[in-house]
Amino acid sequence: AYKRFSELLPKEERENACSARVPKSQILTLPELRANPFQDRICHVFSTSDTGDDSMSFEDFLDMLSVFSDSATSDIKSHYAFRIFDFDNDGTLDRKDLEQLVNCLTGQGEESRLSSAEMEQLIQNILEESDIDKDGTINLAEFQHVVSRSPDFARSGVSRG
Amino acid sequence: RDSQQAETECLSRWKKWRRTSSKSLKKALSEVKGLSSHLVLWQHDIRSIEGKFGTGIQSYFSFLRFLVLLNFIIFILMFSFVTLPTIISKNGLFNSTAASTSPKNIENVCTIYKPNGNKGLVYFYTYLKDLLSGTGFLEVTILFYGYYSTDALWINIMRYNFPLAYLLATFAYLALSFLWIIKRSVEGFKHNLVHDADPFQSYCNKVFAGWDFCITDPNAARLKHRSLQYELQTDLQEEKLKQKIAERRMGEKLRIYSLRIFINIIVIAILSGCFYSIYRVTVFSQENSNVSIRNYARTDLTNLLVQYLPSMVITLANFIGPLIFAFLIRFEDYTPAFEIKLTLLRCVFVRLASIGVLMFSLWSQISGCGSDKCKPCGYNYKSYPCWESDVGQEMYKLMIFDFIVILAVALFADFPRKLLVTHCSCKLVQWFGHKEFEISDNVLEIIYGQTICWIGTFFSPLLPAIATIKYFIIFYVKKIVLIHTRKPAARPIRASSSNFFFLVVLLIGLLLAFIPLGFSIARIPSSKACGPFRNFNTSWEVIPDTVLEFPTGLQQFLFGIASEAFAVPFFVI
């Protein structure tokens, strides 16, 4: 893991890799993140940068890899997944978050988005299935409950290497 | 992570050692797994197809790989128990001799069998014709049942009961195929069960867990986006349709149900038409291409065509049927998922039942005792002195024709189509467009070929070898066609349910193969002029005869097992 991290740094800074911070643009060249529609959110969630530029240190990098490996428990995975899906960082998944989430999933470009009627219907269905206290948003507990009963989640949140 | 570090310092040395050793063990295991995946046939090819075209198409190719392996194992089985002893004894290796006693209590006329082995000077194209139709020089080789006319072999001093071995090898390969398919489908079934377990949560499952974080290739990512979009859209559409159906009034319902019944009647009529034509064509072909009687009045080419007529009609029916069904089902107003399933079911029925009709028409010819032709021997001995070889030849022709059609379609339909679409920009051609890779059609094709192989192996022991080579070549042909001409399907199919579906249809094909085989082995008298079962009434009789030779204690034990009180609970468990 250390080797991969140091490869992302420009040559001059490689000796100090332990304390250097890699800018976001470099992180996005990683193969796992390259094709991932949530790449921006992932960088933002794992970055501990004070300046808000989403750069990652070696420890952040290790954090990210450990969450995506198969030895992470599903609690940890669902916790981080919740944070990744929470686009406006307000601690709950409301309608706008869900809408952005679905748009990320179906791809960039105008023709790959769902129509607004379909989007409405879909968000309605999601909230019906997961919103237990019927407040119109999904909080962390509800999210973890839904995800624990989902058979695909454990497999899809794992990346090799 | 800081808490984890603090924790590590507190652990005793023993626990530290355990942890490091378990980590290195895991690493070693994953490396071994990686190495062993190199040994699996075509692993790299299938992975690259999965990356570029999605898991649906990949499941087709791994299904093909499974069939290649299955056929190879069946071939090894038949070869080692049936062909190898025959070759050893006929060439006198290892001090072996063969005994072929002529049948007693049978009239002489039943044992006349003179296959035309192409003696003397013949033209080269006769060899080609024989290769394509399994007659002539091929008829007397190990390819067909007629060659195996030995009754018992002695290797050194051991006696090898050849007829018993032939029959048991047949049962063994059927049982092996059955068990292997069941084993594979159980894995798929468990997966299916888990997938469909929570219908209350399907939307959340798709949205929150839909993205596969292993994807690194942008093409694969595009594919995944498209498949997610399609899945979500179809689910939403189905929901709307279900609501609409629930709100239907009585009058509407009556209209729709009567329309469906009418269309089903049309479908049944079309199917019966197909089957009747297959029957008539087979009868015609058998009557007019009797190769035992050299008839120089008809040229060899027309003779070949007449021989291939049943195969051509079956292929035509298999091609037109699905088109008609796809057209008709639009009027029946089902939900899209149900439409797909029903069309598929109908196509499966056409393919498998046409083989059944062919077998049935062959039998009506063989046991057709119109004017006392069967009296001495129990079957039509004049036209079919060695009827098992004839059935074997029909299966051989079907298999060869199937192979030729697949190659021809790839060469003459797909490549020119691609060339036309890329280079010619007139509107009509562009509207035609690139062909999509229809997974279900391709799968039904290979299941059809496999059913023929299962039925035919009893009559022609080397057929699995031909099937193995055929599927091997088809893998590469389809792969090349896929890479060069197709665009990824707009309707991605989920892999796990497809896998299970393919295996279920394959199982249906196998069970269907049991019926003709069981009938031939147990009901129709075996030919008295050739083959290992000359001294028995039917092929099945070998087993009761052998059992009677066992010591009485063993006999009683076997009868006890076979009795109903024991067999039924045994099978249930």
Render pLDDT for A34-72 as a digit per residue (tens, 0 to 9): 777 777 888 788 777 666 666 777 777 778 778 777 777
Structural domain total, chain A: 2
Q: Kindly state whether residue B227 falls inside one of the protein's structural domains.
A: yes
| Same structural domain, A61 and A130 | no
**Domain limits at A52?**
1-68
Chain A residues touching residue B204 (CB < 8 angstroms)? 126, 129-130, 146-147, 150
Distance from CA of B223 to the nearest CA of A (A): 10
Q: Which residues contact B375 (CB under 8 A, 6 or more apart)?
A: B369
Predicted local confidence at residue A155, as pLDDT: 61
Pick from A101, A118, A160: CB nearest B233: A118
> B31, B200, B204: best mutation site toward chain A, by most A Cβ within 10 Å?
B204
| Same structural domain, A33 and A79 | no
Q: What is the CA radius of gyration of chain A?
A: 17
| Same structural domain, A63 and A90 | no
B37 touches A: beta carbon within 8 Å: no
CA-nearest residue to B203 within chain A is A126
Q: Kindly state whether residue B546 falls inside one of the protein's structural domains.
A: no
Chain A residues touching residue B203 (CB < 8 angstroms)? 122, 125-126, 129
Q: Which of A29, A52, A68 is the last residue of a domain?
A: A68
Per-residue pLDDT of chain B (573 residues; tens, 9 = 90+): 566 665 655 666 777 778 888 888 888 888 877 777 666 777 878 877 776 676 677 788 888 999 999 999 999 999 988 888 888 877 777 766 766 666 565 566 667 676 665 555 666 777 777 777 777 677 777 778 877 777 777 777 777 788 888 888 999 999 999 999 988 888 777 766 665 555 567 777 777 777 766 666 677 677 777 777 777 777 787 788 888 877 777 888 888 888 888 888 988 898 898 899 988 888 888 877 654 444 443 456 777 788 888 888 888 888 888 888 888 887 877 777 777 778 888 888 888 888 888 888 888 888 776 666 666 677 777 777 778 888 888 889 889 999 998 898 888 877 777 777 777 666 665 555 555 667 778 888 888 999 999 999 988 888 999 999 999 999 998 888 887 766 655 555 555 456 777 888 888 889 888 888 888 888 888 877 777 887 777 888 888 877 777 777 777 777 776 665 555 665 665
Chain B residues touching residue A66 (CB < 8 angstroms)? 1
Q: Which of A68, A99, A123 is the last residue of a domain?
A: A68
> A105, A115, A158: best mutation site toward chain B, by most B Cβ within 10 Å?
A105
Chain A residues touching residue B207 (CB < 8 angstroms)? 98, 101-102, 105, 122, 126
CB pairs under 8 A between A and B: 115
Q: Kindly state whether residue B426 falls inside one of the protein's structural domains.
A: yes
In the DSSP assignment, the letter for residue A30 is S
| Same structural domain, A105 and A146 | yes
CA A10 to chain centroid, in Å, comes to 26
- Contact between B165 and B82 (Cβ < 8 Å): yes
Specify the 3-state DSSP secondary structure of A18.
Answer: coil
> B1, B27, B191, B208: best mutation site toward chain A, by most A Cβ within 10 Å?
B208
Question: For residue B203, which of A113, A125, A119 has the smallest C-alpha distance?
Answer: A125
B229 touches A: beta carbon within 8 Å: yes
Strands A56-57 and B96-99: what pairing? unpaired
Token duo for residue B325: 């069904």
| Same structural domain, A119 and A59 | no
> Are B207 and A62 an interchain contact pair (Cβ–Cβ within 8 Å)?
no
Q: Kindly state whether residue B406 falls inside one of the protein's structural domains.
A: yes
Q: Kindly state whether residue B302 falls inside one of the protein's structural domains.
A: yes
CA-nearest residue to A105 within chain B is B225
| Same structural domain, A81 and A145 | yes
Question: Within a 10 A sphere around the Cβ of B334, how many other Cβ atoms?
Answer: 17
Q: Which residues contact B111 (CB under 8 A, 6 or more apart)?
A: B102, B103, B528, B529, B534
Chain B residues touching residue A153 (CB < 8 angstroms)? 205, 208-209
ipTM here:
0.80
Distance from CA of B67 to the nearest CA of A (A): 28
Question: Is B381 buried (19+), middle (13-18) or exposed (0-12) by CB count in 10 A?
Answer: buried
Question: For residue B37, which of A30, A160, A68 has the smallest C-alpha distance?
Answer: A160
Predicted local confidence at residue B140, as pLDDT: 72
Q: Which residues contact B467 (CB under 8 A, 6 or more apart)?
A: B67, B71, B75, B399, B449, B450, B453
- Contact between A157 and A70 (Cβ < 8 Å): no
Q: Which residues contact B193 (CB under 8 A, 6 or more apart)?
A: none
Q: Distance of CA B185 to CAs A85, B188, B190, B191, B286, Å?
A: 36, 5, 9, 10, 39
Measured between alpha carbons, how far is A47 from A6 in angstroms, rounded to an integer?
A: 17
* Residue A8 belongs to domain with CATH number: 1.10.238.10
| Same structural domain, A53 and A92 | no
| Same structural domain, A61 and A81 | no
| Same structural domain, A86 and A149 | yes
Question: Is B332 buried (19+), middle (13-18) or exposed (0-12) by CB count in 10 A?
Answer: middle
Question: For residue A1, which of A12, A17, A13, A21 has the smallest C-alpha distance?
Answer: A17
- Contact between B218 and A35 (Cβ < 8 Å): yes
| Same structural domain, A54 and A83 | no
Chain A residues touching residue B209 (CB < 8 angstroms)? 147, 150, 152-153, 156-157
Distance from CA of B224 to the nearest CA of A (A): 8
Q: Distance of CA A56 to CAs A24, A29, A93, B347, Å?
A: 7, 13, 25, 56
Q: Kindly state whether residue B459 falls inside one of the protein's structural domains.
A: yes
B212 touches A: beta carbon within 8 Å: yes
> Are A125 and B221 an interchain contact pair (Cβ–Cβ within 8 Å)?
no
**Domain limits at B354?**
42-76+169-530
| Same structural domain, A79 and A152 | yes
> Are B226 and A112 an interchain contact pair (Cβ–Cβ within 8 Å)?
yes
| Same structural domain, A45 and A84 | no
Structural domain total, chain B: 1
> Are B220 and A35 an interchain contact pair (Cβ–Cβ within 8 Å)?
yes
pTM metric for this prediction:
0.75
